[in-house]
Amino acid sequence: MKYTLILLLAGFTSGAQIQKEQLNLMPWPQNIVLNDGNFTLNKNFKVNITGNPNHRIFGGVTRFLRRLDGRTGLFFTQDFVTKLNEVPTAQLQINCSKSGKIGLYEDASYHLDIKENKITIEATSDLGALHGLETLLQLLRNTNKSFYFPNSQISDFPRFTWRGLMIDASRHFQPVDVIKRNLDGMAAMKMNVFHWHLVDDQGWRIEMKKHPKLIELASDGMYYTQEEIKNIVKYADERGILIVPEIDVPGHGTAILTAYPEIGSKVITLTGGTSEKNIQETAIETYGLERNAGIFTPTLDPSNPKTYQILSEIFDEICPLFPGAYFHIGGDENEGKDWDANPKIQEFKKKNKLSTNHELQTYFTMQLVPMLKKYGKELMGWEEILTQNLSKEAIIHSWKGSNEGILPGQSLAEAVKKGYKTVLSNGYYIDLMYPIESHYLNDPIPKGIDLTTEEKARVLGGEAPMWSELTTPETIDSRIWPRTAAIAERLWSAESITDVADMRRRLETVSFRLEELGLTHIRNKEVILRNIANNQNVKSLEEFSNVCEPLKGYTRNKNGTEYQMYSPFTLFADACTPDAKDALDFDAAVTEYLKKQTPENKAKVAAFFSKWITVNKELNDLSANAPLVQPILPLAKKLSDASQELLLVLDNKSVIKPADLKNLIEQCNTKDHADVELAVYASLKKLI
């Protein structure tokens, strides 16, 4: 039945005119016109490039050919594209008037025109042309025997100039191949800013030649060499992506202070001497890399000239590695506890007429501005850097919202009203396991706050931060993808593109296609499940994972100490993702049934219950030889118990009291097992 449905939806005969609603484009283009007819692919398909593009177009086109050939198995004869106008008669003609510069405000538009025998991509620069190639790949369709592109005309350009993804490589180090495959994913989703969070309390991740202690003492041996960084910068450039590095100061400073405790803010009092003569001295605190998650006090000393000397030398070494015009200095979550307790720092505040810690931090931040200016870089920081003395050239990274006790969009609006450029991350925290819908409908331009056109123009765009407290190289892709594709659409497409159901439909294909870039968000799930199942059949685990979601927000890692940075992330919660696959289908079945209680609709709901009863039995069998299955058994039992009774309810055969039935369902509303929750609880409740 499901089969037939897919076939009907897919419109698999090329004779039928395709409707826009059948396309799997993401981000959705600004303008699209579908015409009759198709361009059918064969092995002689070739590409030709004209104009004055940057050299990156050649690699881009070669990769395009390999991906298209991998999907179609046509054995294209064109191999590596390395020159302009190599094949003037090629079916795909790409023309770019100029070489694209990596950075903001660059024209990234393109026009794609597909006709029966000819495809053209016209773009201002290679950057737009690369976007056009991604759109073309997404337009690929097929009959039962051949592949084709539907005749169409697409004019496209981004709504925002900052379409970012941040990866935290400090809390869990993310090796080069993780970064590269995610850059490929970004490029496929027309994202253009990779924010690389390189330093935090849990580790310093850049090789430093003048300050090797940072690596020797504060990286556990896990860091990027400078050559690897250059290599990644080049890789990103080839995909049209700007890299913005982040060195988080003055808070989140444990790693730096592990190497250089002398620039820390904490003083400790030593008491010694004899009973006659009591000696009290202060000494500097020593630090060790943080292994837990949370907000910690280690903070750089803003009153110490050596702090600026070391930072200046660090920037001297790091800035040249990154050709981009922006440098992120963090600046978040400095609670100032060690500042308050340090008499020297209090003295310094008085002397410099800095009445609050916030003003002291601004003083600190302003010292960094010239260090970065020296390399032509503008300073960017999390919203805490914003105070009245801050240079208007700084970019404010807005991240706070309801969780931090302020209205979503509030800090962003304040910043643009004060004249700052801003990037929104509040609402895009993909590490927190919230449903895709919440990110997708979170517009960078805040609703309900009046902003002038000028103020709106200062909203550069948005960025999805992937913090890595609870993710490893094996699981990070499934935390980033496919949800980040929806954020990419929010940042590229028109404001009016907000149909969640349609986005979900398109996402299914988009997510599948991201696999060809090496992303592991789909394939690694079974790896985790096989480990849990002790190499037995994973079917029941797989099915149970389709109704379970990892605990959301900051609830999974209680007090930040349940998981250390070296804890196992090979558990059931690590195999689960937000937007649990079966939960939506179940909710749809329940809704249909409640609307119209036909035998068919009842059967659909009942099928879920029967499945979950079976899953519970099978998980119990599995657990006999798989200790890692044990923690999920109580949850599987709860769902099975509720399912058994609800099957009776459907047949009007339930004899238990309403309160007992309610209780059975309430049992499913728990966060006590295996760090996951049942995503079907809300739908179960609808049935009583």
Q: Measured between alpha carbons, how far is 322 from 231 in angstroms, rounded to an integer?
A: 11
CB atoms within 10 A of CB 576: 25
Q: Measured between alpha carbons, how far is 226 from 229 in angstroms, rounded to an integer?
A: 5
Residues 6+ apart with CB under 8 A from 114: 39, 136, 139, 149, 150, 151, 152, 153
Catalytic residue among 313, 317, 333, 543: 333
Nearer to its own copies, 603 or 624 (CB): 624
- Determine if 564 is a binding residue for its own copies (CB under 8 A): yes
Among 50, 367, 438, 509, binds its own copies (CB under 8 A): 509
Which of 142-150, 350-358, 371-379, 410-418 is the region at the interface with its own copies (rule: CB under 8 A)? 142-150
Q: Measured between alpha carbons, how far is 216 from 259 in angstroms, rounded to an integer?
A: 8
Which of 7-15, 326-334, 449-457, 461-469 is the region at the interface with its own copies (rule: CB under 8 A)? 7-15
Which residues are 330's β-sheet partners?
A: 249
- Determine if 308 is a binding residue for its own copies (CB under 8 A): no
Q: Is 333 a catalytic residue?
A: yes
- Determine if 15 is a binding residue for its own copies (CB under 8 A): no
Distances from the Cα of 84 to the Cαs of 47, 53, 56, 68, in angstroms?
10, 9, 12, 21
Instruction: Return the residues of window 385-444 that contact its own copies according to CB under 8 A.
Output: none
Which residues are 247's β-sheet partners?
A: 199
- Determine if 107 is a binding residue for its own copies (CB under 8 A): no
Specify whether the CB–CB gap between 117 and 93 falls below 8 A: no
Cα angle, residue 91 at apex, residues 117 and 508 outer, rounded to 5°: 85
- Determine if 317 is a binding residue for its own copies (CB under 8 A): no
Among 6, 279, 655, 659, binds its own copies (CB under 8 A): 6
- Least distance (Å) from its own copies to the CB of residue 457? 39
Query: Site map for its own copies, 255-294, x if CB under 8 A?
Result: ------------------------------------x---
* Exposure string over 141-155, b if 16+ CB within 10 A, otherwise e: bebeeebbbbbbebe
Nearer to its own copies, 249 or 575 (CB): 575
Per the rule left: phi > 0, alpha: psi between -120 and 50, beta: everything else, 203 is left
**Parallel, antiparallel or unpaired: strands 118-125 and 110-115:** antiparallel
Give one DSSP letter per residue of 182-204, joined into a string.
Answer: HHHHHHHTT--EEEEEEEETTEE
**Parallel, antiparallel or unpaired: strands 378-382 and 395-398:** parallel
- Determine if 74 is a binding residue for its own copies (CB under 8 A): yes
- Determine if 97 is a binding residue for its own copies (CB under 8 A): no
Q: Is the dihedral of CA 552, 558, 561, 562 positive or negative?
A: negative
- Least distance (Å) from its own copies to the CB of residue 55? 11
Which of 267-275, 392-400, 438-446, 523-531 is the region at the interface with its own copies (rule: CB under 8 A)? 523-531
Which of 339-347, 405-413, 530-538, 597-605 is the region at the interface with its own copies (rule: CB under 8 A)? 530-538
- Least distance (Å) from its own copies to the CB of residue 371? 27
Distances from the Cα of 676 to the Cαs of 333, 557, 635, in angstroms?
28, 11, 9
Peptide bond between residue 27 and the one before it cis (omega within 30 degrees of 0) = yes
Among 48, 138, 170, 623, binds its own copies (CB under 8 A): 623
- Any alpha helices (H) in 539-598, and if so which ranges? 539-545, 572-575, 581-595
Among 262, 508, 600, 651, binds its own copies (CB under 8 A): 508
Among 216, 340, 502, 621, binds its own copies (CB under 8 A): 621
Nearer to its own copies, 153 or 570 (CB): 570
Nearer to its own copies, 460 or 635 (CB): 635
- Determine if 70 is a binding residue for its own copies (CB under 8 A): yes
Q: Measured between alpha carbons, how far is 611 from 543 in angstroms, rounded to an integer?
A: 8
Specify whether the CB–CB gap between 685 and 594 falls below 8 A: no
- Determine if 614 is a binding residue for its own copies (CB under 8 A): no
Specify whether the CB–CB gap between 162 and 241 falls below 8 A: no
- Any alpha helices (H) in 288-406, and if so which ranges? 305-318, 337-340, 343-351, 357-373
- Least distance (Å) from its own copies to the CB of residue 179? 11
| Nearest Cα residue to 105 out of 458, 465, 486 | 458
- Least distance (Å) from its own copies to the CB of residue 240? 17
Residues 6+ apart with CB under 8 A from 533: 541, 622, 626, 628, 629
Q: Measured between alpha carbons, how far is 462 from 161 in angstroms, rounded to an integer?
A: 9
Among 1, 15, 36, 79, binds its own copies (CB under 8 A): 79
Query: Site map for its own copies, 465-494, x if CB under 8 A?
Result: ---------x--------------------
Which of 108-116, 174-182, 183-191, 546-554 is the region at the interface with its own copies (rule: CB under 8 A)? 174-182
| Calculated CA dihedral for residues 204, 210, 216, 221, nearest 10 degrees | 60
Tokens of residue 59, six digits: 């690699």
- Least distance (Å) from its own copies to the CB of residue 1? 12
- Determine if 19 is a binding residue for its own copies (CB under 8 A): no
- Determine if 592 is a binding residue for its own copies (CB under 8 A): no
Nearer to its own copies, 25 or 571 (CB): 571
- Determine if 536 is a binding residue for its own copies (CB under 8 A): yes
Among 233, 255, 571, 576, binds its own copies (CB under 8 A): 571
Q: Measured between alpha carbons, how far is 238 from 240 in angstroms, rounded to an integer?
A: 6
Among 85, 225, 555, 663, binds its own copies (CB under 8 A): 225
- Determine if 504 is a binding residue for its own copies (CB under 8 A): no
- Determine if 545 is a binding residue for its own copies (CB under 8 A): no
Among 170, 493, 524, 616, binds its own copies (CB under 8 A): 524
Q: Which residues bind its own copies (CB under 8 A)?
A: 3, 6-7, 10, 12, 59, 66, 69-75, 79-80, 142-147, 175-177, 220-221, 225, 227-228, 231, 291, 474, 508-509, 512, 515-516, 518, 520, 522-524, 526-527, 530-531, 534-537, 564, 566-571, 621, 623-628, 630
What are the residue numbers of the active site? Answer: 333
